[in-house]
Structure 1
Amino acid sequence: MAAKILANLIIMGSGILGRAVFQAYRKAIENANKTGVAHEAINNIRRGSKALTEQEARLILGISEQSTWEEILQKYDVLFEKNAKNGSFYLQSKVHRAKECLEAVYKEKSGVTN
């Protein structure tokens, strides 16, 4: 008999606790929407997934703003091959993304369109 009462109390308690957690979660979302925190968090996520900036790409490849496209390709080839042989795939992909970013910048500067 005592076990049955204890089991009922546990079940009822967990139901009450579950509803309280749900209500607290819903209230937290309402407050976040009112203060703009939710919108800011979404913007931060979007910002984090954007492509490299030109400055970041130049830092990755170790080139200056005065570098020619040929110099960029030479630096890219060296870094890409080093990471292909005994480097990391992550660094190799960063080098590739940096080249893609700068390629778009150089096309834009030269007025080339697809």
Structure 2
Amino acid sequence: MTSPVLPALPALPALPGQRDAEAAADAAPPVPVQWLDRHRVAVLRAQWTAVQAGFVDDPREAARSADEVLGRALTLLTEQVEQARHRLRALPQGPAPTTEELRGALREYHKVLDRILIV
């Protein structure tokens, strides 16, 4: 069974300063940062190793277990991204945050987005 080919997305109009930001992003790719702590990564890797080992004896069960491991990983990742988003929403404090406070918040949003895009 082949996957359907998705149509290309239309180009969005450039935002002010977008071309400069894109050039800077191309010049310096973000450094990968893991969303999950080492312990959780180790547990998920161990679970995945068990899935692979079980494939020979029971391929159907291994496929089901693979789905469960992936589901757990996605749940953990989603929780981490939501926590980061919650913290970001609290950044520009007060009824009228300054431009500098908003600029700082925007930088933090950008860091989170970069982390998501390098996964």
TM-score (norm 2): 0.33
The structure with the largest alpha-carbon Rg is 1
Q: Which has the higher contact order (CA 8 A, sep 6+)?
A: 2
The structure carrying a bigger helix percent of its residues is: 1
